Amino acid sequence: MKYADVIVDISHENVDRPFEYIVPSELEASLRCGCQVVIPFGKGNKQIQGFVINIKEEPTFDVNRLKAIESILPGSRRIESHMIELAAYIRENYGSTMNKALKIVLPVRKKSSPIVEKYISCSPDRQKVEEALERYRSDKRMVARCRLLEEAAKEKVLPYNIVRDKLNISVQTIRSLEKEGLIRIDIMENLRDAFQIKEQLPYTIRLNPDQLGIADDIWERYQAQDLRPSLIRGITGSGKTEIYIELIDRMIRQGKQAIVLIPEIALTYQTVLRFYKKFGDRISVINSRLTAAQKHDQLEKARRHEVDIIIGPRSALFTPFDHLGIIIIDEEHESTYKNENAPRYHSREVAVKLAQMSGGIVVLGSATPSVESYYKAKNGIYQLYSLDKRAKGKGLPEVSIVDLRQELASGNRSIISRKLDELIRDRLERKEQIILFINRRAYQSFVSCRSCGAPVQCPHCDVSLKYHRNGKLICHYCGYEMPMVRVCPSCGSKYIGTFGAGTQKVEEEVNRLYPEAMTLRMDMDTTREKDGHEKILSAFANREADILVGTQMIVKGHDFPDVTLVGILAADISLYSGSYLSAERTFQLITQASGRAGRGARQGNVIIQTYSPENYAVQMGASQDYPQFYEHEMSYRKLLGYPPSMNMLGIFAASKDERLLQESMEQISRMVDQKIREGLNVIRIGPSAAPIARIQDQYRKILYIKAPDYADLTRIKDLMEEMAEQFPDKGLSLIYDFSLNAN
């Protein structure tokens, strides 16, 4: 008799442990670790689902009181054993139930059946076939059989459809030949292709000495079993992607597999094509535009070893490879690598764990590494490599800072400064291209009253509504909509209108100033349709416009050799986001946006418009000096005890009941203080209201805990989980957010 530990599919802390079940003998042969099963649960033996995480010979509990597994869930997917270990890691390090963590690593369920194709092949018994053919040839009623068998004998395999349609042969005829054993019918599942590239393309790049030096060193370290992650800091266009391709090539020659994480926004056709040129159909791509069935098929191809390389955003990390050799994380600083919902795992850390488990390596790359990763590289946890020259084209663009306060003082009220205006006119004349960049978060226009100053707020969230062109006011947090107001809801004044400059406003301004120029706009609104993002980028790359106006989205993914001017319209907006990461984000934005200029044969210019020209993130972003920025930023983080100088745990709590929220937070604070008195080396900050104190009528509070030792934070989290089990289920939700994880 065998026994199984089962995690029940209920997201409740009280049942977040394995329950023991008997494996009935009829399931013994097919039941594996990671199977989804149906089990009787609780007093009423309600039928629920669960995940088998362990199978054993001896029971831990009294066998007479154990229940038996009912069945294996039909059509379910099995989680590979190493993925169960990964889920346990996520559960332990980010705070979550095992059930939730298992669902993160659970392969996508197949939503529709695979495309099934039938093939006909001839019996290998030549003599029998020849004899049959002879018979058919002399019998007028057998012409159809004769035609089919002749064709089958000639070709190795015949697609069933072609036989039916082109050879015009009836199903009965096919069946009777099959019955006689003259032909065989095979069914093959064709997995849907994620993308359609049919041409054979040449790959011609040879690494330059700098690139080769890095690739060789990473490779030698791998062969010497130094499995520490590598961080390549290389300016945009320095050739990091080619290093990734070289390393992947070496890996797959050894029979290993590769995962390449690229932020969704940078996952353009152009990027994928570069990998495709080298690896052909050994690669597959996952992105959010794929249907569930397509996504499933890509993972299935990986499982069947039909592909060795998967490229995709965060979720590609959970590809079921069994000989994983390398995980690449491009643009490793991107915030999208952190899961927004609980558990808030960071792909970088989970990748390191996964590589460790598989004996593989992790390679991170960025022009502007996260301060966290660079800190690890400086401290020997990662191996650091730098590339400071562009692989081709000109050197870095010439960057100037424009003080917007002086613009206003000299009477220029436009969002385009005089210096930027001068350069735009120059580039239009020379038929070169221009990118104008606006910070997304900052410039969504909101509506406010010029008489009383009140912004128009969402009735459910503590945020202002955003004005959309279609004449509606929309809440970006809960989707609440109302028609544009004519009078102020607070004081009744008629002087109410939109503020700030959205991408639309900039586009209008550009059209007014340069009526002869062709303009494209790229933002959330213009990229909503399928492949909208891709279409705009290709149109711009094909020179269908002179000026591209856009948000963060335009910073990544495409090479535009004819762009020689980038204008960053208000660089410092991200400085005031209220997060300790705001300087880092500003530096990243400026550097990444500047990297778009002068990638072709001509030198580029970048204009940074700002209200805080003296700010170090702006200054160092302009000089594109990452190491200097890092030193400056780290001294600030050390001074204030922010990550990565300390580890930090954010506890986000939300409830519709404001009192309950307040009391629970106080209770948590008391617990933490008690532990501090007992000698735990942590610092408590807060609780305070979250930056947005209410969303969808849920009140929100945050408590931060800092600690030199990461383990002390997971200890607090464990204690809180114990506490949460005792909280009556009154609708309090808790999310843990770890800001540094000492791998």
Which residues in this chain contact ligand ADP in the complex, by CB under 6 A? 205-208, 211, 234, 236-242, 391-392, 559
Q: Using the CB atoms, write b or e for 512-524: b if 16+ within 10 Å.
A: eebeebebbbbbe
Q: Is-cis flag, bond preceding 687, omega within 30?
A: yes
Q: How far is the CB of 386 from ligand ADP (least distance, A)?
A: 12
**Residue 519 touches which of ligand ADP, Zn ion, none (Cβ within 5-8 Å per kind):** none
Q: Using the CB atoms, write b or e for 273-294: b if 16+ within 10 Å.
A: ebbbbbbeebbbbbbebbeebb
CA distance 3 to 295: 34
In the complex with ligand ADP, the residue whose CB is nearer, 206 or 659, is 206
- CB of 410 closer than 8 Å to CB of 402: no
CA distance 263 to 271: 11
Q: How far is the CB of 236 from ligand ADP (least distance, A)?
A: 5
Q: How far is the CB of 589 from ligand ADP (least distance, A)?
A: 16
Cα torsion 8, 313, 589, 739: sign:
positive
Q: How far is the CB of 331 from ligand ADP (least distance, A)?
A: 9
Task: Find tokens 């301060």 and name the residue.
Answer: 371
Q: How far is the CB of 544 from ligand ADP (least distance, A)?
A: 21
CA distance 371 to 704: 20
**Residue 449 touches which of Zn ion, ligand ADP, none (Cβ within 5-8 Å per kind):** Zn ion
In the complex with ligand ADP, the residue whose CB is nearer, 121 or 336, is 336
**Residue 559 touches which of Zn ion, ligand ADP, none (Cβ within 5-8 Å per kind):** ligand ADP
Secondary structure class of 77 (helix, strand, coil): coil
**Residue 490 touches which of ligand ADP, Zn ion, none (Cβ within 5-8 Å per kind):** Zn ion
Q: How far is the CB of 112 from ligand ADP (least distance, A)?
A: 36
In the complex with Zn ion, the residue whose CB is nearer, 490 or 603, is 490
CA distance 663 to 669: 10
Neighbours of 317 (CB within 10 A): 22
CA distance 447 to 500: 9
- CB of 118 closer than 8 Å to CB of 187: yes
In the complex with Zn ion, the residue whose CB is nearer, 452 or 524, is 452
- Give burial (CB, 10 Å; 0-12/13-18/19+) of 716: buried
**Residue 240 touches which of Zn ion, ligand ADP, none (Cβ within 5-8 Å per kind):** ligand ADP
In the complex with ligand ADP, the residue whose CB is nearer, 236 or 615, is 236
List phi, psi (to 5°) of 172.
-60, -45
In the complex with Zn ion, the residue whose CB is nearer, 55 or 482, is 482
**Residue 460 touches which of ligand ADP, Zn ion, none (Cβ within 5-8 Å per kind):** Zn ion
Q: What Rg, from alpha-carbon coordinates, does the chain have?
A: 31
**Residue 458 touches which of Zn ion, ligand ADP, none (Cβ within 5-8 Å per kind):** Zn ion
Q: How far is the CB of 652 from Zn ion (least distance, A)?
A: 18
CA distance 301 to 321: 10
**Residue 247 touches which of ligand ADP, Zn ion, none (Cβ within 5-8 Å per kind):** none
Residues in the chain: 743
- CB of 417 closer than 8 Å to CB of 549: no
**Interface with Zn ion by CB under 5 A: which residues?**
449, 451-452, 458, 460-461, 475, 477-478, 480, 488, 490-491, 493
**Residue 488 touches which of ligand ADP, Zn ion, none (Cβ within 5-8 Å per kind):** Zn ion
**Residue 491 touches which of Zn ion, ligand ADP, none (Cβ within 5-8 Å per kind):** Zn ion
In the complex with Zn ion, the residue whose CB is nearer, 102 or 475, is 475
Q: How far is the CB of 480 from Zn ion (least distance, A)?
A: 4
| Among candidate residues 430, 468, 415, the one with its CA nearest the CA of residue 563 | 430
In the complex with ligand ADP, the residue whose CB is nearer, 391 or 458, is 391
In the complex with Zn ion, the residue whose CB is nearer, 125 or 481, is 481
Q: How far is the CB of 388 from ligand ADP (least distance, A)?
A: 11
Q: How far is the CB of 342 from Zn ion (least distance, A)?
A: 21
In the complex with Zn ion, the residue whose CB is nearer, 122 or 449, is 449
